[in-house]
Amino acid sequence: MKIVLHAAQDQEAWIAAFRRALPQAQIDPWSAAHAAQADYAIVWKPRPEILPAFSRAKAVFNLGAGIDAIPDLGAIAPGIPLVRLDDAGMAEQMIEYVSEAALRCYREVDAYADQQRETRWQPRPRRAKAEFIAGILGAGVLGAAVAGALRSLGFPVRAWSRTRRRLDGVEGFAGMDELAGFLTRTRFLVCLLPLTPGTTNLLDRARLSLLPHGACVVNVARGGLVVDADLVALLDEGHLAAAFLDVFREEPLPPEHPFWHHPRIVLTPHVSAVTLARETVAQIVDKIGRLEAGLPVTGVVDRERGY
């Protein structure tokens, strides 16, 4: 079995990890000659000329859950499946990140921090947890995991997706016709959607304004889902209470961007759920084994939908 790997970062470390996990396979860095003979391809942020060379591969694996790092899905030959990561240790990290943000918003930690700076002793009325509705945009593997974690904390949870998904104990919404109804009662919005032509700029001023006064927004998916200027304006106007942002249109975020110094924005450098090497290698090795045995695998990308 011949596997060819191309990664924009840490390529040698990835190759070494896969060689340890698959000692019976020949694993080489990308070259046009190697790619033409590859049984499987593993890529991350490939250059435009990388993908067309995998002409006889049985599958192309993406070293990430999001596939927007692949510039042209059409560059992969028809009939060759593109397979993304399902979880690989990311769900637990995402649960930690979102749960901390939810509790920080629900318990009004930032409001008490303001009072501390003012040396003001003023207990605030406790919110009714039943009214602090969490809404998850995106009901895939990570969305389902986050929804379950928020339910375990006692929050009512609703989820929206392009097509209807059923999650235990979660109120479901689907399609653009139901998006407004999903937003109007969501006080804690978590964005876990893939970035596609249909989701780019989805959260603009009109849709963010549908959230109740004092709502919080968390974006741990992709920066292009949210219109930056509209988010800042609604925070400045007091309609939104806070935003927790881990992803951005341009990364690293430029020093002059208004997000850096906004008092109601918590900013982190795309660390809410990092790709873990051991878990990633194990998942891809398992899927290669299933494909070799003629079995189906999860994570196959629908190129028309873009995820």
Report the alpha-carbon distance of residue 163 to residue 207 in Å, rounded.
Answer: 19
Is 270 one of the catalytic residues?
yes
Q: Which of 162, 222, 239, 305 is catalytic?
A: 222
Is 222 one of the catalytic residues?
yes
The residues near 280 (Cβ < 8 Å, ≥ 6 apart) are 63, 85, 88, 89
Q: Which of 19, 104, 127, 270 is catalytic?
A: 270
| Residue 166, both tokens | 């059923």
Report the alpha-carbon distance of residue 116 to residue 121 in Å, rounded.
Answer: 8
Report the alpha-carbon distance of residue 245 to residue 115 in Å, rounded.
Answer: 24
| Residue 107, both tokens | 């318990």
Which DSSP category does 300 fall into?
B
| Residue 131, both tokens | 């009214």
Report the alpha-carbon distance of residue 97 to residue 76 in Å, rounded.
Answer: 34
Choose among 113, 109, 174: nearest CA to 138.
174
Choose among 72, 12, 64, 18: nearest CA to 40.
18
Catalytic residues, which ones?
Answer: 222, 270
